[in-house]
Chains A and B, each alone.
Chain A
């Protein structure tokens, strides 16, 4: 604690390493995916923001961020495990929360409208879970809970 007080003026180093089991609301959010190959009008709304802003190449996508594509637009979302999702025109997608709600299965992405094309180059080692208003779609490695 004394060390943290000493370093307080120097930055937020202490906040980046909270004690185990302590929730730190101010922790730096982890990038869940990267936005690439943008074409046409692609907009991004951060989880904490109220307004849409133009998306740019290489932008990190965080939990609960939303991406929207316009007419004749598209974008590629790349996840850390290498799986990719090509978002087609006039689509609305969301980056899912890491933890998810208790009792519900994990998802990486939610598609609220439009078309997405998913690719897993090595499905034996990759997995991708996509939620929609009607279903959950799981591709790649199958994890069986005994």
Chain B
């Protein structure tokens, strides 16, 4: 079997949901073997309701489902957005939400982790050019309620603490106290109402010749028709270069990828990490030009 086809077969095969503890294995060893990280032992502990890290050889352990991959992807996107964001209250808030997402992940609360990470990512990906609209309500006792309708996040400060409040969120501040956690997302499309994106370019099965770039070729540009109600898109590239990225636009750009056979898929993102159905296409990438590398002569 050709390596590319083997890779596709491996990607398509469902991951096992159980594993058996091998002789002399610790819980960290099992986590490393099955989930690729010894740190994930805490997740196995939570899923299997274990009181300690001790596991007997031959014991059967449950493994996380595909929701773990979604949570990991959301956390990776949030971390990337935090790293690229300019210093400020929104970045601080996003970093805190990302840290909370990692705590939820280690407790195997994958849906909560994905939602928290998604809210962090969303905080930093709002379009600056949208008008900013927010309402402030002050009760007779001074209690302040701030609701953000649209635009970039609003910063609410009290008692030395700042909260970034995103569109659709409300925060309550009692006199003499720090702002509470923003709550109350407005009803927006969920996974059930999101449609699969209509892929535009490259065409299905197209053999694309790109310029040499780094160790591969590039740039690879993918585009699709925007989905109504989508807050962003999850783009996955399966093949010699496996990449996943999130974008708020109906296009994605991969600066450099290895040549070979690929499948690329796009899914619309709803609120709290909800994903719509995927649209997928095959793609063949080749090098369009011969790369000339002229080395200086080693003689004088």
Identify which of residues 86-113 in chain A touch chain B, using a CB-to-CB cut-off of 8 Å. Answer: 105, 111-113
Instruction: Offer 15 A-B interface pairs, CB within 8 angstroms, sorted by A.
Output: A117-B134, A119-B132, A120-B151, A123-B131, A130-B136, A132-B138, A134-B142, A134-B144, A134-B176, A137-B136, A137-B144, A137-B157, A138-B156, A139-B132, A144-B86
Q: Is the CB of A137 within 8 A of B87?
A: no
Q: Is the CB of A118 within 8 A of B133?
A: yes
- Mark each residue of chain B from 172 to 196: 1 if its CB lies under 8 Å from any CB of chain A, else 0: 0111110100000000000000000
The reply to whether the CB of A40 lies closer than 8 angstroms to some CB of chain B is: no
Instruction: Determine which residue in A113, A120, A124, A134 has the highest number of CB atoms from chain B within 10 A of its CB, and name it.
Output: A134
Q: Is the CB of B131 within 8 A of A134?
A: no
Q: Is the CB of A135 within 8 A of B179?
A: yes
B residues less than 8 Å from A119 (CB atoms):
131-133
Identify which of residues 122-178 in chain B touch chain A, using a CB-to-CB cut-off of 8 Å. Answer: 128-140, 142-144, 146, 151-152, 154-158, 173-177
Q: Is the CB of A122 within 8 A of B137?
A: no
The reply to whether the CB of A114 lies closer than 8 angstroms to some CB of chain B is: yes
The reply to whether the CB of A21 lies closer than 8 angstroms to some CB of chain B is: no
A residues less than 8 Å from B144 (CB atoms):
132-135, 137
What's the minimum C-beta distance from B150 to chain A, rounded to whole angstroms?
A: 9
Q: Is the CB of B136 within 8 A of A118?
A: yes
Q: Is the CB of A111 within 8 A of B151?
A: no
The reply to whether the CB of B285 lies closer than 8 angstroms to some CB of chain A is: no
Q: Is the CB of B132 within 8 A of A133?
A: no
A57 to B173, CA, bound (A): 33
Q: Is the CB of A142 within 8 A of B131?
A: no
Residues of B within 8 A of A (CB): 86-90, 128-140, 142-144, 146, 151-152, 154-158, 173-177, 179
Q: Is the CB of B87 within 8 A of A138?
A: no
A142 to B123, CA, bound (A): 14
Q: Is the CB of B158 within 8 A of A140?
A: no
Q: Is the CB of B179 within 8 A of A139?
A: no
The reply to whether the CB of A37 lies closer than 8 angstroms to some CB of chain B is: no
The reply to whether the CB of A136 lies closer than 8 angstroms to some CB of chain B is: yes
Q: Is the CB of B90 within 8 A of A114?
A: no
A137 to B154, CA, bound (A): 7
Taking A123-B131, A130-B136 as given, write out 8 further A-B residue pairs in contact, using a Cβ cutoff of 8 Å, ordered by the A residue number.
A105-B157, A111-B136, A113-B140, A115-B135, A136-B156, A137-B146, A138-B157, A139-B134
Chain B residue at smallest Cβ distance from A127: B132
A140 to B134, CA, bound (A): 10
Across the interface, B89 reaches (CB within 8 A) one of A112, A124, A142, namely: A142
Q: Is the CB of A111 within 8 A of B133?
A: no
A135 to B173, CA, bound (A): 7
Instruction: Determine which residue in B87, B89, B144 has the highest number of CB atoms from chain A within 10 A of its CB, and name it.
Output: B144
A126 to B132, CA, bound (A): 10
A29 to B137, CA, bound (A): 30
A121 to B174, CA, bound (A): 29
Q: Is the CB of B146 within 8 A of A123?
A: no
A residues less than 8 Å from B129 (CB atoms):
122, 124
A residues less than 8 Å from B88 (CB atoms):
142, 144
B residues less than 8 Å from A75 (CB atoms):
none
Q: Is the CB of B135 within 8 A of A116?
A: yes
A44 to B156, CA, bound (A): 28
What's the minimum C-beta distance from B179 to chain A, rounded to whole angstroms?
A: 6
Chain A residue at smallest Cβ distance from B139: A113
Q: Is the CB of A136 within 8 A of B158?
A: yes
Instruction: Determine which residue in A118, A121, A135 has the highest number of CB atoms from chain B within 10 A of its CB, and name it.
Output: A135
Given known contacts A123-B151, A132-B144, is B135 in contact with A118 (CB within 8 Å)?
A: yes
Instruction: Determine which residue in B90, B136, B156 has the highest number of CB atoms from chain A within 10 A of its CB, and name it.
Output: B136
A residues less than 8 Å from B130 (CB atoms):
123
B residues less than 8 Å from A124 (CB atoms):
128-129
